[in-house]
Amino acid sequence: MALHQRNIFTVGQIGDGREAAAARYVVANARRGDPDDVIATIDRFAYEESFLINVGDEKGALLDAAVVRAQPRLALELGTYCGYGALRIARAAPAARVFSIELASANAEIARTIWAHAGLADRITCVVGTIGDGGRTLDTLARLGFDTGTLDFMFIDHDKSAYLADLHSVLDRGWLRSADASIDRGCGAIVVADNVKLPGAPDYLAYMRAEQGVRWNTVEHKTHGEYQTLLRDVMLESELLSG
């Protein structure tokens, strides 16, 4: 599909059939129990069949590297979509429990189908909800084992206008492990944020720049939008220095 044929960041996340078609494509074409092949098959679908708004292969490699650096035991993703990001996190951190928050129940079911086909359904849990729902979803995570200093990695890839507020909501719970409390782990919790330039999360970017070297240590990765090389994007990789 040519990039000019649609505005890639204004198409809906659910409802036009692309996501369900991607799941069917994975089940039909990817080797069962092989996360590498499932990820490659999703990428192939996005390039050759229909555009998807998951993080994609180029930025996915940056995500993988950040996960390896964090060596998480517990990871959280905001924005499941089709399950691609959580799948990459689980693959890069074989010892981690991965939780993913998704507003749309239809997307959650699609993601669970893909995770099951990849053989990772036992390590990835999708919670249907949103961080900004008055605490209900956060309380659910607490019941699932989230506690002070237990969260090692977070990937933010949902509503761009909610990035900063949702980060603060997680920080307020005290779940993210800080570097000053992580001498044995080598680094503090790492938070990766996608699409900071395209379509953009300017308040989140301004916050991380203002807190550079104080509360956070952030690397700004210059990259491209999903599944193309024309439009520029930025992905932030931020280590929590102090809680």
- Find the catalytic residue in 54, 195, 197, 239: 195
pLDDT digits (tens, 9 = 90+) for 29-47: 999 999 999 999 999 999 9
Residue 218 confidence (pLDDT) above 90: yes
CATH of the domain at 211: 3.40.50.150
Q: CA–CA separation, 123 vs 95, rounded Å?
A: 9
Q: Are strands 216-224 and 232-240 parallel, antiparallel or unpaired?
A: antiparallel
pLDDT digits (tens, 9 = 90+) for 120-166: 999 999 999 999 999 999 999 999 999 999 999 999 999 999 999 99
pLDDT for the residue numbered 97: 98
- Find the catalytic residue in 43, 160, 233, 237: 160
Instruction: Please state, rounded to an integer, the average pLDDT across all residues of the chain.
Output: 93
Q: CA–CA separation, 120 vs 122, rounded Å?
A: 5
pLDDT for the residue numbered 183: 58
Count the domains in the chain. 1
Could you tell me the residue range of the domain that residue 33 belongs to?
3-240
Residue 181 confidence (pLDDT) above 80: no
Tell me if residue 194 is catalytic.
Answer: yes
Tell me if residue 107 is catalytic.
Answer: no
pLDDT band at 179 (very low <50, low <70, confident <90, very high): confident
- What lies within 8 Å, CB to CB, of 140 at 6+ separation is 127, 129
Give the pTM: 0.93
